[in-house]
Amino acid sequence: MTELQDFFSIDQRLLEAAQQAEDACKADFERIEKNAAYNSAKVLAAFQKSRVSEPCFYGTTGYGYGDQGREVLDQVFAEAFGAEDALVRHNFVSGTHALTVALFGVLRTGDKMVALTGRPYDTLEGVIGLTGDAKSGSLQNFGVQYGEIPLLADGTPDYDAVADAVQGARVAYIQRSRGYSLRPALTIAQIRRLSEIVRRANPDAVIMVDNCYGEFVETQEPVQADCDLMIGSMIKNVGGGIARTGGYIAGRKDLVQQCAERLTCIGMGKEVGCTLDMNREMYLGFFHAPETTAQALKTADFAAALFGSFGFACYPRVGETRGDIVEAIRLGDEARLTAFCQGIQQGSPVDSYVVPEAWDMPGYTSKVIMAAGAFTMGASIELSADAPIREPFAVWMQGGITYNSGKIGILLAAQKLLEQGLITL
């Protein structure tokens, strides 16, 4: 790794530690690359079966009637994910927006939603009605009941509590990724176990999964584990670092249609919505997604090995099964947290000269510091790191559209801590 010193000021001791960390990741890297090969073949087959052609890349304007590219892209996603149907649109502004459309599309006044994996991610609290103005138009404001099952002490689901909790529920909600917690992300095996319990206890419940950060981490997706709907963002895994915006909802055909009629309007659903000039990048991003996700996973694994060697608790550790691309590192105090994010920013291809500071980010209850020097603003598939300024002062790092650039970002974060006397070698 000494060649890095031709371009970056990185302490020789850090480079030696990095080589040891990379060696510790070899077995994991082989598994990651094997999964990526399988998922890439799956996506290629989906493109071919859906008969993708150059006219699919042409955009439409106005109402978007008969948009071939929009319709075929839905087919590609559904085929690759093993779903009956999909709704893939550039005008989903975020993963939270896609989740909101799905929840409002399925739930009605008097229905009940039960979160099986504890409190959902911060940005959904206002959507549900757990925070914010009582007249904001939240689910609870529209008469939807809400319940949740706290996670066990080890951060895993309380499987024993699920059957009773979902009695009479319309939606059983699963968040695959960890949000701002240190719990492990859910694997497909854990999601399948939750689904089996829900099906026995309440066959009519709609099992909905927030799949953000989880796509292509394994060789199956939640709808293949008997879930009804899964939802995600195009500026995370499935956009491959190419899609500039958007999101998707995939799963049962009737439910996808309900969501489409919430996104547009009743009676029009999936039949309208122009794609402008967005089609090509959404196809191309999805085609790259399995390999890009693999780069992010390798970057996360390297970070866990390196910072684990410095004595920091990392979640997950090297060798543990991953359910998403996120690596959480418990840094212990605000100074280390800030230095880490500033180092990640310094290693970014865009805005590397910017110094991140904590601020009141919309949708969050604590100040948040975010390093995100990305080609697409907020793209979590590109190397980024963020954290609320609160205990346990952990940072959540994700992305890296190439492993080699991601590795440099991790090393510059370590260098920043070393220069400030916040780690010792």
Give the contacts of 10 (CB within 8 A, at least 6 positions apart). 4, 411, 412, 415
Kindly state the average pLDDT of the residues 221-233.
98
**pLDDT of 3 above 90:** no
| pLDDT band at residue 2 under the 50/70/90 scheme | confident
User: Are the beta carbons of 251 and 83 closer than 8 angstroms?
Assistant: yes
- State the DSSP code for 177: S
Query: All domains of the chain, ordered by start, with CATH?
Result: 2-40+290-419 (3.90.1150.60), 59-286 (3.40.640.10)
Length of the chain: 425
Percentage of the chain exceeding pLDDT 70:
100
Tally Cβ neighbours within 10 Å of residue 26.
Answer: 10
Question: Of 127-136, 231-240, 266-275, 408-417, where does mean pLDDT reach its minimum?
Answer: 127-136
Question: Of 141-145, 276-280, 364-368, where does mean pLDDT reach its minimum?
Answer: 364-368
**pLDDT of 133 above 90:** no
Q: pTM for the complete prediction?
A: 0.95
**pLDDT of 166 above 70:** yes
**pLDDT of 361 above 80:** no
**Res 43: pLDDT:** 98
Kindly state the average pLDDT of the residues 280-297.
98
Strands 313-315 and 145-148: unpaired
Give the contacts of 166 (CB within 8 A, at least 6 positions apart). 114, 116, 172, 197, 198, 201, 202, 205
| pLDDT band at residue 270 under the 50/70/90 scheme | very high
Kindly state the average pLDDT of the residues 54-78.
96
Task: Give CA separation, 401 vs 285, 292, 294, 296, 307, in Å.
Answer: 11, 5, 9, 6, 20
Query: Model confidence over 297-340: pLDDT tens digits?
Result: 999 999 999 999 999 999 999 999 999 999 999 999 999 999 99
CA separation for the pair 177, 184 (Å, rounded): 8
Tell me the average pLDDT of the chain. 95
**Res 1: pLDDT:** 76
| pLDDT band at residue 109 under the 50/70/90 scheme | very high
Q: For residue 269, give both structure tokens.
A: 């659903």
**Res 150: pLDDT:** 96
Kindly state the average pLDDT of the residues 62-84.
97
**Res 363: pLDDT:** 65
**Res 366: pLDDT:** 79
CA separation for the pair 220, 39 (Å, rounded): 9
Kindly state the average pLDDT of the residues 217-236.
98
Task: Give CA separation, 58 vs 67, 89, 92, 239, in Å.
Answer: 9, 15, 19, 18
**Res 86: pLDDT:** 98
User: Are the beta carbons of 94 and 88 closer than 8 angstroms?
Assistant: no
CA separation for the pair 158, 165 (Å, rounded): 11
Beta bridge partners of 112: 145
